[in-house]
Amino acid sequence: MSKKKTIYLAGPLFTHAELEYNRKLKDLLLKKGFSVFLPQEDAEDAANERERQNQECIFRKCVKGVDNSDIVVAVLDGVDVDSGTAWEIGYAYASEKTVIGLRTDFRALSDGIVNLMVEMAIVALARDEEELLKIMEKYK
C-alpha cells in the first residue's frame, strides 16, 4: 500500500468566500485520497490567529507545509495571482515540487493566462474543479 500524497493548497485566504472555496477544494482532494495541508487551518493563518501568533510562526509553518508536500495546488484566480501564493509557487518550484495551477477566473492577460513566471512554474493548469481532479488522478 502506497503512502498518501500530500498536497499543499496555496491560495488567497483573506475573504469569507476565499476561505470557503479553499475548504471546498480541500474536501474534494481529500475525497480523492490525498492528504491536504491547508494554511488557513494547518498554519492557523487567519486574521484572528495573526493577532495571537507572530508572523514568523505562521511563515515557518507554511514553509514546512510546502517542504513536507509532494504537490502544490495553487489557486490562480484574480486579476493577478495573490502575492503569497506566487511566493509559495516559486518556493515549491525551487524545491523541485510539482505545482499545478487552478484558474477558474475567465479573465486573461494580453500575453498569457497568468504572469509568465507563474505560468512557467506550473506543470498543468485546470480551469475548474472537475479538470483539477482529472489532472490529480495521475499524481495519486
Per-residue pLDDT tens digits for 17-53: 999 999 999 999 999 999 999 999 998 765 665 566 6
- pTM of the predicted protein model: 0.91
- CB contact at 8 A, 115 and 80: yes
**Domains along the sequence of the chain with CATH:** 6-137 (3.40.50.450)
- Give the mean pLDDT of 108-119: 79
pLDDT at 3: 85
